Structure 1
Amino acid sequence: MSRPVANLLLLLAALIWGSAFVAQSTAMRDLGPLTFTGLRFLIAAIVVAPFAIREHANRSLAPLTHGQMLRFTGLGLVFFLAIALQQTGMTVTTVTNAGFLTAIYVVLTPILGLLAFKERPHAVVWPAALVTLAGIWLLGGGGIDRLNAGDLLMIVCAVFWALHVCLLGGMAASSGRPLTLSAWQFAVVGIVAIVPGLILEPVSLQAIAAAGPEILYTSIFSGGLAYTLQTIGQRWTRAGDAAILLSSEALFGALFGALLLGERLTFAGLVGCMLIFLSIVAVQVVPIIGWSRLRARIRMRGA
């Protein structure tokens, strides 16, 4: 798969996640975050399982080793911690703080990739990551409320999101089984979330039925489809690039909020959307045409 196609898959995943913001928020009226997360990802695992079984039947692939199974499980636990910390933090902090502090993973991902995994991102990723973070800050209103314990959870959550992005591409590439990896990590998240959810949170069949449409949408589309697109796409692109592309979830979330809920962006929000869009374009275009050719084109236009 070519890098542009892989990056297009990541953008499509971010678009689907952005469309699911409404469903994720309304589901919390009927279910607790752990129960909702558990049901969502168990269904996502079931949806992806037939494709993973078909992939497993490919005789050209080497059988999964015990080491790979352990690494898949570890990735699922990292994934769960990121989601659980985010959901817990959102019960204490504001939506504005949660969105901005989680987005720190955009900057943390290339740093972590370089320090821990010796993955050198293209030079354009560093300024693009900072511009993306600024765009998300403006999209959230251009402000931040007084920090509390929930905000600390969001910062730790951002570290786990960055770790997940860094680990995912390498595991998908080394195993050659992106669909199996997706189903495996979904199952881990679903099991680890549903057990404490059923114990600690109030739940009933009526509540599950009431949240049924949201559960199905977030499990099939933003869960099974979008996260699998991420797994496939990250086989062919760098972690730093992937973080910036996936961060467009905030941009798409704002657009779907305007379309579906009648929300209106402020001028600062529009500027934030533009900054995120420009960062995405820069990450795609600059590595292709090269710094020198880009500077030459700018000088020609200015002449």
Structure 2
Amino acid sequence: MRIRTRTRPLKGRTVVVTGAARGLGAALSRALDDRGARLALLGLEGARLEEVAASLRHEAAYWETDVTDDKAMADTARQVRARFGPVSAVVANAGVAEGGPFADSDPDVWRRVIEVNLIGSASTARSFLPDLFSTQGYYLQITSLAAMGTSPLMSAYCASKAGAESFAHALRAEVAHQRVAVGIAYLNWIDTDMVRDADRHAVLRELRGHMPRPARKVHPADVASERLATAVEQRRAAVYMPAWLRAVQPVRALLPPLVTHVARTELPRLEREEPFEATGLLGAGGRADDRARRAP
């Protein structure tokens, strides 16, 4: 009888993870390390990146860089290539979020969400595409249920994730003939600093609370990271966490009018109970982004 052994397609290959200092990025780095990958960790928090790199069993290194800085990202890509050789996979995970009424939003904060989640993803792809061309590699774009539907009081996040999804679809078609695969990850609520911080704000806590029970559940980052790591191994075109999100795809056009119908009555009631206020960038990652932008 022939015994089947588990293949390890990532063993010895270099994978870039952005937003790797904490939360899902850190958990995904560990999951990829378990599969034998060498990790290039990118983010804004050098001390935390160093801790993540030190916790991995295989070769890893970190670069403190802003994904929205095209020159810095290009320099980082050259340094990663010099350290590890050409990259085989890239996960564009870096992201921030904020909540509150659009009419009262801080334009700088609103714009920053777009910059990190959409423009930062594009800069990441642009910087590492030469490697992916040479390795016939894989690019995974992290998006959200927000890319398929919509949500009041989170206009920047929804716009950025929908944009990131559309960017990934366009990129997939553009590079397919060069045998570079592009995947899109659709995630719902994952237990990260950003989501925990969102629950401290009534405006976002109530928003999640009004979702159907399966849709409001928060999933452990370690569970999500295992699914994402498998997607990288298998070069999947799409990955869903939780799995039922796949069923939303055929009916996603129904979501905006449904959300509008519910919001028309629920938002005025919620605002009477507690006035909506802008949250600013959420979580420790958001605060790190604030510090980095304001540093001299």
Asked if these proteins are the same fold (TM beyond 0.5), I'd say no
TM-score, structure 1 as length reference:
0.25
Normalized per residue, which structure has more strand? 2
Higher-RCO chain (CA-CA 8 Å, sequence separation at least 6) = 1
Normalized per residue, which structure has more helix? 1
TM-score, structure 2 as length reference:
0.25
